[in-house]
Amino acid sequence: MIEGTNGQDEVITNPKPIAVKKIILNIVLLCALTYVTFPTLSQWYSSIPSVDSKTIKVDTVIRGDLVRDVVVSGKAVAANAPQLYSTEIGKITLLAKPGEAVALNQIVARLVSPELDALMKQQQSTLEQLSINANRGVLADKEAQLDLESNMNAAQSKLNVVKREFQRAEISYGKQIISEVDWLKSKDAVTDATRLFEHSKKRVAFTKERLQFEKQHREFLVQKEKLILDELSRRHEALAIKAPVSGVVGNWLVAQRNTIAANTAIMTIVDLSEYEAELGVPEFYADDLGIGLEVAMKVSGVSVRGEIIAISPEVKANQVTVRARINNSSAIQLRQNQRINARIEFEKQENVLMVKRGAFVGSLGGKFIFKLVEDNYANKIEITTGISSVEYVEITSGLEAGQQVITSAYENFNNAEQIYLDY
C-alpha cells in the first residue's frame, strides 16, 4: 500500500500583526544611525583623510610688529685683552701669576738681555769718543783761525811799510831825486801789498765759515749718537714689561726663566671693566650683517642689549664671526669665555599679518597652508609669505587676521586638498 505525503506536511501559523509603535521606533533608530555615520561615509566617499586633532598644532593669524632676526650663540670676551710681548732676546722672569690682579703700569715681567747691555756700553763709548773729537776740533779751529789772523796782520803790516815807502818815493820823485821807474816800482809794491791784505781778510772770513760748519758737523755726530743711546735706553727700560691696563693676568705664554726670542708673546692681561660678545653667525646670513645692527642677548638669565661693532671679513666653518658691544655690561657679572645666547635683529616691520612659525613652511615650500573651516574641516589654500623671524612668518596674501590655520607638518595629509579633524 502506498503511503501518503501527510508526514511531510508542516502547519504554518499566521504571523501576528506588527505593532505600529515598533515600526516608528525602528525608523527613528535608522535616522539617528544615518545622521551619525553620514560624515564618515561622505568623507570616505570623497577620499578626505581624517587627522587626529591631538597630533596637529593650530594657531591664529594675527597682526603685529615683526622683527626679522636670527638666533646665534657665542661667548663673552674682554673688549680689551692685550698680549704682552718681549722686545729683546733674553731671559724672562715672570713676576705676576695667572689670575693675579694688576694695576696700570705695574711691572709684570722683567727681561735680561746681555746683548742689549753690551750694545749700550759700546754706544756710550762711541759718544764719549765723538765728544772728545768735537772738543779737539774746537781747539784745532781756534789754532787755524789764529794762524790766519796772524798772516792777515803780517799782510797789513807789510802794506803799511810799502805805503810809507811809496810816500818817500813820491816826495823824492817830485824833487827829481829818483827816477820814474823807481817811483813806479814803489807804486806797484803798494798795489801788491793791498791785494795780499784783502786776500788775507777774505781767507780769514771764509775760514770762520768753514770752521763753523765743521763745528756743526761734529755737534751733529754727537747729537746723533745721543739719539742712538736714548733709543737703547728706551729699549733697556722696556725690558721691565708693564701692564698696559688694569685687570688680571690671563695666561702665561712662556715658561718661567726661559730664554726667549724677540717679539715672543709672554702673557695676556684681561681688562675686566668692559666685555664684548663674540658671536658665530651662519654663512647664510652673511649678506644681511651690518655695523650697528641691534642684538638682544641673554647672559646667566639676564637680558641685555647691544649692537654689532665689527664683522670678520672671512668665513670659518660656515660661520661669520661678529663682535657686539654689550650695553650696561657692569650690571651683570661676566667672565671671560662665558656662553652667550643672542638674537640679531636684521629688520623690523610694524602692523603686519603674521602667524606662528611652524613646520608647515618646509612641508609645502611655504606656498600653501591648511585653513580651518566649518564642520571640523581644513582646506588647503595658497598663500605668499614675506620676512620671517624666529617665532613668526609674515603672510602677505591668502589669509586674514583671526583665521585659524594648521602650522604643524603636513606629511600625514597624503597630499589632500581637504582634511577632516577628528576631535
Q: Tell me the pLDDT tens digit for each residue of 224-265.
A: 999 999 999 999 999 999 999 888 898 899 999 999 999 999
Look at residue 37 in the predicted model and tell me its pLDDT: 46
Cell of 357: 612659525
Look at residue 409 in the predicted model and tell me its pLDDT: 85
Among 285, 297, 283, smallest CA distance to 339 is for 297
Q: What is the mean pLDDT of residues 124-153?
A: 86
Cell of 81: 685683552
Q: Burial, 48: exposed, middle or buried (Cβ in 10 Å; 0-12, 13-18, 19+)?
A: middle
Strand order, beta sheet including 265-270: 83-85, 265-270, 247-252, 101-102
Share of the chain above pLDDT 90, in %: 26
Look at residue 43 in the predicted model and tell me its pLDDT: 46
CATH number for the domain whose boundaries are 50-67+350-422? 2.40.420
Q: What is the mean pLDDT of residues 202-231?
A: 89
Residues 6+ apart with CB under 8 A from 142: none
Look at residue 29 in the predicted model and tell me its pLDDT: 66
Residue pLDDT, tens place only, 312-357: 999 998 999 999 988 876 667 777 788 899 999 888 888 889 998 8
Residue 305, pLDDT above cutoff 70: yes
Residue 1, pLDDT above cutoff 60: no
Look at residue 44 in the predicted model and tell me its pLDDT: 46
Q: 24 vs 19, 21, 370, CA distance in Å?
A: 9, 5, 43
Domain at 72-78+270-348, CATH homologous superfamily = Efflux pump adaptor protein, beta barrel domain (2.40.30.170)
Quick one: which H or E segment has residue 67?
Answer: strand 62-78
* Bridge-based pairing state of the strands 50-52 and 418-422: parallel
Helix (H), strand (E) counts: the chain: 4, 22
**Beta-bridge partners for 308:** 324
Taking CA 141 as the corner, what is the angle to CA 138 and CA 145, rounded to the nearest 5 degrees? 140
Identify which of 227-231, 342-346, 408-412, 417-421 has the greatest average pLDDT: 227-231
Residue 89, pLDDT above cutoff 50: yes
Q: Which fold has domain 114-237?
A: Helix Hairpins (1.10.287)
Of the candidate ranges 18-22, 140-144, 389-393, 411-415, the one whose mean pLDDT is the lowest: 18-22
Look at residue 233 in the predicted model and tell me its pLDDT: 92
* Bridge-based pairing state of the strands 101-102 and 58-60: unpaired
Query: How high is the mean pLDDT of the chain?
Result: 83
- Residue 51 and residue 12: Cα distance in Å, rounded? 55
Look at residue 230 in the predicted model and tell me its pLDDT: 93
- Residue 148 and residue 152: Cα distance in Å, rounded? 6
Of the candidate ranges 84-98, 339-353, 361-375, the one whose mean pLDDT is the lowest: 361-375
Specify the pTM: 0.50
Look at residue 8 in the predicted model and tell me its pLDDT: 58
Residues 6+ apart with CB under 8 A from 312: 320, 321, 322
- Residue 39 and residue 222: Cα distance in Å, rounded? 111
